Amino acid sequence: MTVERRPSPSRSRRPTIKDVAEAAGVSRSTVSRALTGRGYAASDVRERVLRAAAELGYVPDVMARTLKQQVSRSVGVLVSDLRNPFYAELAAGASREARERGYTMVLADTSLSAEAESEAAEALVALRVAGVVVTPNSSAVSTYLSAHGIPVVEVDRQFAAGSTDGVVVGNRVGARTATSHLVELGHRRIALFIDETDWTTGYERYQGYLEALAAGGIKVEPELVVSSGWDVADSRRRALDMLRGPDRPTAVFAANNVLAEGVWRAIGELGLRVPGDISLVAFDDTPWMSMVSPTVSAVSQNTYGLGATAVRRLSERIEMPEADSVTTVLNVRLISRESTAPPPEI
What are the tens digits of pLDDT across the range 258-315? 999 999 999 999 999 999 999 999 999 999 999 999 999 999 999 999 999 999 999 9
Note the CATH architecture for domain 171-300.
3-Layer(aba) Sandwich (3.40)
d(CA 228, CA 62) in angstroms, rounded, equals 45
- The answer to whether domain 70-169+303-330 and domain 171-300 are alike in fold is yes
CA-only gyration radius of the chain, Å:
26
Bridge partner list, 334: 299
Residues 262, 275: Cα–Cα separation, whole Å: 16
E strands in the chain: 74-79, 104-109, 131-134, 152-155, 165-169, 190-194, 225-227, 251-254, 279-283, 297-301, 327-330, 332-335
- Tallying the residues shown for the chain, one arrives at 346
pLDDT higher than threshold 60 for residue 62: no
User: Alpha helices of 25-170 — where are they, by DSSP H?
Assistant: 28-36, 43-56, 62-69, 85-100, 114-126, 140-147
Residues forming a β-bridge with 153: 133, 165
Instruction: Domain 70-169+303-330: state its class.
Output: alpha beta
Distance CA 93, CA 77 (A): 11
Contacts of 93 (CB under 8 A, 6+ apart): 303, 304, 305, 306, 307, 308, 309, 311
Which sign, positive or negative, has the C-alpha torsion 68, 71, 73, 77?
A: positive
pLDDT at 13 over 80: no
Question: Side by side, which strands form the sheet with 190-194?
Answer: 225-227, 190-194, 251-254, 279-283, 297-301, 332-335
Mean pLDDT of all residues belonging to the chain: 90
List the chain domain ranges: 17-60, 70-169+303-330, 171-300
Nearest to 297 by CA among 172, 168, 185, 213: 185
Pick the closest to residue 106 from 61, 138, 74, 130 (CA basis): 74
Confidence label for 192 from pLDDT (cuts 50, 70 and 90): very high
pLDDT of the residue at 30: 86
Q: Inform me whether the pLDDT recorded for 28 exceeds 50.
A: yes
The pLDDT > 90 percentage for the chain reads 71
| 152: region left, alpha or beta (phi > 0 left; psi from -120 to 50 alpha) | beta
More confident residue, 209 or 47: 209
Q: How many CA atoms lie within 13 A of 150 on its CB side?
A: 29
Say how many C-beta atoms besides its own lie within 10 A of residue 318's C-beta.
17
> Residue 64, SS3?
helix
Asked whether the predicted pLDDT for residue 8 surpasses 60, the reply is no
pLDDT in tens, 114-144: 999 999 999 999 899 999 999 999 999 999 9
Q: Per-residue confidence at 232, pLDDT binned at 50, 70, 90? A: very high
Write out the CATH class of domain 17-60: mainly alpha
Distance CA 271, CA 273 (A): 7
Long-range Cβ contacts of 1-8 (<8 Å, 24+ apart): 1/44, 1/47, 1/48, 3/48, 3/51, 3/52, 3/55, 8/56
Alpha carbon separation from 12 to 8, 15, 16, 31 (Å, rounded): 11, 10, 12, 23
Helix axes 114-126, 140-147, angle to 10 degrees: 20
Q: Which of 55-59, 245-249, 267-271 has the lowest mean pLDDT?
A: 55-59
pLDDT digits (tens, 9 = 90+) for 146-189: 999 999 999 999 998 888 999 999 999 999 999 999 999 999 99
Sign for the CA dihedral angle at 74, 75, 78, 81 comes to negative
- Residues 6+ positions from 271 with CB-CB distance below 8 Å: none
